[in-house]
Structure 1
Amino acid sequence: MTSPASRTQQTGHDFTCYEKNQTFNPLVSYLHTTRYKHLIKLFTELSAKDLSRTLRVVDIGCAHAKAFHILNSRFNIDYTGIDIDETLLSIATERYAGHKNFRIINDSINNHYAEFQNADVIIALEALEHIPENIVVRVIEQIAAAKPEAFMCSVPNEVGPIIWLKNIGSLLTGYMRHKEYKWMETLHAGLFNLDRVETHGIGHKGFDWRWLAQTIRHNMRITKICTNPFDWLPKTFSFSIIFICLREP
């Protein structure tokens, strides 16, 4: 899941650095909430088939389990979150351990593929870019083999002209995302020239959502690709990309 160095540092059990970064200003906050709009829509459609049904959810890279908070207040779910970040999971435990339908695992996802077998819905929100790509391939293969009713993931768009807007906007507003890049890397990433950008590791820099799309497509049918903040945006100008896969009848 996400690199501990990039997401942790607790600033008190009420609000983490990770959460503060996601609500840095109104625009950043809005962009980080768009994926939850699509998540709620997906669960609304799945729940409508049987209102009494409990949907079993596995959340890859769950962080402080915001997805549980959003879903549990609206739907019947049985939730399992998996993340390597012990600090963020301690926050999630403190907040939600009293719920009988809440469980978390502090470990790498590649040790827990068995969790996919009984899942109705598997999600990975802003997580797969923080996992080594060789493991991401195995994760997608294992999800496909488990045949959940739905798989949804969201990842940042780090290639094409949108990266200029994101990194220059980050600099002008005092945000931190541009600091991961050298400015020549921002230039080349915006020109789709990732050969001139440091090879992707477990951060944002060098991540190519198109590679992930092909990996998913080779294993599952992509039902819908959503763009952020508006679905009518071309993917090149989307801040993030959201994939939704529904099991074929």
Structure 2
Amino acid sequence: MTQKRNIADYNSRLFNTGRIRRFYHMARFDFVADLIKRRKINVEQFLELGCFDGRLLQHIPQPDHYVGIDANVEGGLDLAKKNYIDDSSKVFIESLSPENLLTFESDSFSAFASLETFEHIDPDQLDAYLDEVSRVLNGDLIITVPNEKGPVLLVKKLVKRIIGSRSDPYSLAELFYASIGRMERVARREHKGFDYSRLVDQIDHRFELISVKGIPFQWLPPVLNLTVAIHARSRITSVELDG
């Protein structure tokens, strides 16, 4: 019962607490849906990391085969399994480790998505996750993460302090360094100290980087947006070129 209550609270907090908050949290789903349609991305074999309750499935063309992986911290994965219990094309796996990706064959997915998840991954595991995603994916990669540096972060934290939030883990020195992009001077803890630029570099090392955009306002650069959306594609190997 506790998990169900947590799921309801979580979804209500993100999607039903005012129009502005809903607009912000829906922006990532709208971005992915638009990108898939506009770029004609093949979603037949779809892998999602951090799927929670499978909400993304409501916004994309239905894959022939879908695998959703999630830590199930708030019970979202349990709800996804319940909602899709009669659909054998949807598989949900509880996992906290990149080792679970080892069970999939190379090039077995045509698309990969991960929304607001990579900021939660232990920095020591990021390379392992990206290596495995690179191995199992032959297609498009879409990742969204929060912008936790620069002027956007400074404004967010100042607003929180003005309204009296006491849950801010930043010291004044860390807030200063994060606001000028000196993330090496900020201790990492989930969102705190997360640097989307480093993630972009790690992705670029393994994939063909297509675009890095800010959302919800794509006409603004990523540094001035609340969320950063990364689109990349599997590199074409020499074997594929010869074929």
TM class by smaller structure: 0.7 to 0.9
Determine what percentage of the aligned residue pairs are the same residue: 20
How far apart are residue 240 of structure 1 and its match? 1.0
Establish whether residue 106 from structure 1 lines up as the match of residue 98 from structure 2.
Answer: no
The 5 A counterparts of 1:14-53 are 15-23=7-15, 24-45=17-38, 47=40
How far apart are residue 110 of structure 1 and its match? 1.0
Amino acid paired to 1:63? F
How far apart are residue 99 of structure 1 and its match? 2.2
- In structure 2, the CA distance between the partners of 1:173 and 1:59, relative to structure 1 (3 Å rule), is farther
Establish whether residue 241 from structure 1 lines up as the match of residue 228 from structure 2.
Answer: yes
- Within 2, Cα distance between the matches of 1:91 and 1:219? 33
Match for residue 150 of structure 2? Answer: 160
How far apart are residue 157 of structure 1 and its match? 0.6
Match for residue 81 of structure 2? Answer: 93
How far apart are residue 204 of structure 1 and its match? 0.5
* Structure 1 gap segments, 5+ residues each: 1-8
Q: Is the 8 A contact 2:111 2:137 kept in 1?
A: no
Listed one character per residue, the Cα deviations across residues 47-85 of structure 1 (whole Å, up to 9, x for unaligned) are 577xxxx611111011111112322xx434421111122
Q: Is the 8 A contact 1:64 1:92 kept in 2?
A: yes
Amino acid paired to 1:106? E
Establish whether residue 58 from structure 1 lines up as the match of residue 50 from structure 2.
Answer: no
Match for residue 239 of structure 2? Answer: none
Listed one character per residue, the Cα deviations across residues 78-120 of structure 1 (whole Å, up to 9, x for unaligned) are 2111112251211212222222321100112412223373111
Match for residue 5 of structure 1? Answer: none
Amino acid paired to 1:26? R
How far apart are residue 181 of structure 1 and its match? 3.4
- Within 1, Cα distance between the matches of 2:51 and 2:213? 21
- Within 2, Cα distance between the matches of 1:228 and 1:134? 27
How far apart are residue 151 of structure 1 and its match? 0.7
Match for residue 181 of structure 1? Answer: 170
The structure whose residues are more often strand, as a share, is: 2
TM-score computed with the length of structure 1 as normaliser:
0.81
Amino acid paired to 1:227? G
Establish whether residue 215 from structure 1 lines up as the match of residue 202 from structure 2.
Answer: yes
Q: Is the 8 A contact 1:127 1:155 kept in 2?
A: yes
Match for residue 75 of structure 1? Answer: 62
Establish whether residue 224 from structure 1 lines up as the match of residue 224 from structure 2.
Answer: no
Instruction: Give the superposed CA RMSD.
Output: 2.6
TM-score computed with the length of structure 2 as normaliser:
0.83
Q: Is the 8 A contact 1:227 1:238 kept in 2?
A: yes
Match for residue 6 of structure 1? Answer: none
What is the count of residue pairs matched by the alignment? 231
- In structure 2, the CA distance between the partners of 1:190 and 1:226, relative to structure 1 (3 Å rule), is same
- In structure 2, the CA distance between the partners of 1:82 and 1:109, relative to structure 1 (3 Å rule), is farther
Match of 1:34, SS state, is helix
Listed one character per residue, the Cα deviations across residues 118-139 of structure 1 (whole Å, up to 9, x for unaligned) are 1111111101111111211111
User: Higher Cα Rg: structure 1 or 2?
Assistant: 2
* Structure 2 gap segments, 5+ residues each: 237-243
How far apart are residue 189 of structure 1 and its match? 1.5
Match of 2:36, SS state, is helix
2:130 to 121, 140, 154: 140
